[in-house]
Chains A and B, each alone.
Chain A
Amino acid sequence: MASFTAYQCDTCKSLSSPPHGFCGRCGARSLRSVTLSGRGTLLSFTTIRVPPARFKGQEPYDVAVIDLEEGLRVTARLKVPVRREATIGEGVVFEGLVEEGPLFRLV
């Protein structure tokens, strides 16, 4: 399991990822990077079977919205083993950054 880097506002303490140079909630400019556990649960997900032109050939692939245990919500690619169905509420872990963005897998 890889650790997940996020950004925490020094003023309002809210977490964000990816970084934008200032806090998306309060506007403060002082942020520091924090290392999150990479553990979370599935809020929802889908399997893309009709992809946009530049992802053609990758289908089917899964995209999920994940609640990390520290309170940050992210949208990411999800690796689901063949012959296994994911369910909402199931645990996931961060596997790493791939070309498309963050990748998680089922626990």
Chain B
Amino acid sequence: MRGVSVIGIGCTRFGKQNGIGIIDLAVQACREALDDARVPNERVQAFYLGNFVSEALVHQGSLAPMVAYRLGLRTIPCTKVEGACASSGIAFRHGVLMVASGLCDIVLTAGAEKMTSSEITTVTEALASAGDAETEMRLGLTFPGAFGIIMRRHMHQHGTTREQVAMVSVKNRLNGSTNPKAHFQKPITMDDVLGSRLICDPLRLYDCPPISDGAAAAVLCAADVAEEFTDRPIEVIGSGHAMGPGTLFEMADLTTFEATVSAAREAYRMAGVSPGDIDVAEVHDCFSIAEIAATEDLGFVEKGRGGGAVLEGLTALAGPIPINPSGGLLSKGHPVGATGLAQIYEIVRQLRGEAMNQVKDAEIGLAHNLGGTGAVSTVHILKRR
């Protein structure tokens, strides 16, 4: 397989973007990524777009060719990828495969979601479609509900405390306070989290990310062609993509996402690195408890130690395993289809040495995206050349 580099990135501001539709959001991020890469339109050979609920929320299908055409691309294959909240992690993965296989030299990947123009109950229902409609969502289970169940179990099984879980939100909101693209840019305290209203016990409002609009994009290029465009390509050294059970009752352990474990194993093996080699990570904190599970499932700490790790500051910006320096989903927002590529955006900036919350001398970074209640996960490992 050929080496694959990221040569351009783009990301819109995340938050409520009145008057800007989903196609324009995606076009903004893509334009920024293509300009950053200094790649002319005619060199782009394929386009992958991650999106989850555009049909349900903004009644827009055929999204990939619509976005590509408005960008000025012509005739190339355009594919929309859906994997719930991991949609654009998968879009990025397919871009990597196209370049690695030798079929393309340059591929544009993006993710986009428009969520704030819908009512909260409509958004909740649309997001719930990532679960199993026939067995669990028919019960009235929601996504926050599923993670409430997982959180209660994690606390029971591993002795994780309410304060440890809340610390994820406190840490990520602090990181996000200096990110100009984040939806929430105000730090919060432990008391704010513990005093926020219950959504799905024991999960509270500040354990959840905001509902946001946004888009992110990355330009992928064959490593041996990258120098034509940039003197600072970022190499994709590992790519993992795996499935797991999409329901709670089929999980062998309610505190472990098999999809994450499997995707991480594949990515680490391909990259030839271990968790201890990762300098910075963006992980899928769709709820505060999800970051704790991911910290464990990715192998940064042992199962059951994720809560202690965050409260002790191990995953803080200045800690030995900085996690979610961008502010994560909890602070940036979670326009679901855009999230996977927004994580890549942050890791590329970290490895270029140009991030807002720069981790000193970051050389290897990891991006972890999770869809559904663990139905799908992607893990990508990137390295500075």
Contact = CB atoms under 8 A, between A and B. Distances in A.
A36 interface: no
Given A52-B142, A65-B254, A77-B139, A88 B198 contact: no
A75 B200 contact: no
B247 interface: yes
B144 interface: yes
Contacts of B40: none
B199 A52 contact: no
A55 B254 contact: no
A46 B139 contact: no
Contacts of A88: 152-153, 156
Contacts of A54: 125
Interface in A80-106: 88, 100-101
Contacts of B121: 50-53, 56
Interface of A: 18, 43-56, 58, 61, 63-65, 73-77, 88, 100-101
B148 A52 contact: no
Interface centre among B125, B140, B152, B199 (most CB of A within 10 A): B140
Interface string B175-218: 00000000000000000000001111111000000000000000
B236 interface: no
A88 B144 CA distance: 19
Contact of B142 (A44, A50, A100, A101): A50
Nearest to A20: B134
Main DSSP-derived SS at the A contact region: strand
Interface centre among B120, B128, B202 (most CB of A within 10 A): B128
9 contacts: A46-B148, A47-B200, A51-B140, A52-B125, A53-B121, A53-B122, A63-B140, A75-B141, A100-B138
B3 interface: no
B138 A63 contact: no
Contact of A45 (B124, B152, B249, B250): B152
B21 interface: no
Interface of B: 119-122, 124-125, 128, 134-142, 144-145, 148-150, 152-153, 156, 197-203, 247-250, 254
Contacts, number: 96
Contacts of A48: 140-142, 145, 200
B149 A45 contact: yes
Interface centre among B122, B141, B249, B250 (most CB of A within 10 A): B141
Contacts of A18: 134-135
Contacts of A63: 136, 139-141, 145, 149
Interface centre among A47, A52, A55, A64 (most CB of B within 10 A): A52
B139 A44 contact: no
The 5 closest A-B pairs by CB, nearest first: A46-B148, A52-B125, A44-B153, A53-B121, A55-B140
A101 B254 contact: no
B296 to A, nearest CB: 17
Nearest to B136: A75
Contacts of B141: 48, 63, 75
Contacts of B135: 18, 75, 101
A50 B247 CA distance: 20
Contacts of B153: 43-44, 65, 88
Nearest to B146: A46
B140 A58 contact: yes
Contacts of A58: 140
A104 B250 CA distance: 18
Given A49-B199, A101-B138, 18 more contacts: A18-B135, A44-B254, A46-B200, A46-B203, A47-B200, A50-B199, A52-B125, A52-B128, A53-B121, A53-B124, A56-B121, A61-B140, A63-B136, A63-B145, A65-B248, A75-B135, A75-B136, A75-B249
